[in-house]
Amino acid sequence: MDRLDDGSDSDAGDAYFSLVPDEDRRRYWAETAWGNDLEAESVLFADRGSEAELCREMRLSELWSHCQSGFFTFDEFRELSALIAEVDGIRGSLCVDCAMLDRPNVSANWALADTALCRGHLRFRLGHAQIDGGGSQRPQ
């Protein structure tokens, strides 16, 4: 164990990993890669824009499900209204309302996230949403 006594961090790490089986070593590496702080380079996406786009799509879907459940605050209404303009439609996924109206399968009519609605029909339905108040408090 002379390698641990010289105070070198890299030597200590090498010594530690020499005692850990290969299977556990791979698991440890995976956990440290997932545990990196937010300032580090992206692990899941090569392009940060793709990661942000996916986050917006997921948030749009979440807000739309809140809206459909009937428990929808004014803050959520404003956030959803903004996201409708930011999220792109899923290529080739036709809005259910546009399909019912026999509209062509073009990008303007593609569904946003997993709402199954295009931008225009999502705004139309949002116009008839029931909003339960102005704060972020959600009824139990």
SS (H, E, C) the chain: CHHHHCCCHHHHHHHHHHHCCHHHHHHHHHHHHHCCCCCCCCCCCCCHHHHHHHHHHHHHHHHHHHHHHCCCCHHHHHHHHHHHHHCCEEEEEECHHHHHCCCCCCHHHEEECCCCCCHHHHHHHHCCCCCCCCCCCCCC
> Would 137 be classed as within a structural domain?
no
pLDDT number for residue 11: 67
> Would 2 be classed as within a structural domain?
no
Query: What range does the domain containing 13 cover?
Result: 8-40
52 and 120 within one domain: yes
**Pick from 6-15, 61-70, 105-114: least confident:** 6-15
- Asked if the model's pLDDT at residue 48 lies above 70, the reply is yes
> Would 1 be classed as within a structural domain?
no
**Which band of pLDDT confidence, cut at 50, 70 and 90, is reported for residue 123?**
very high
Structural domains counted in the chain = 2
86 and 33 within one domain: no
> Would 139 be classed as within a structural domain?
no
**Which band of pLDDT confidence, cut at 50, 70 and 90, is reported for residue 42?**
low
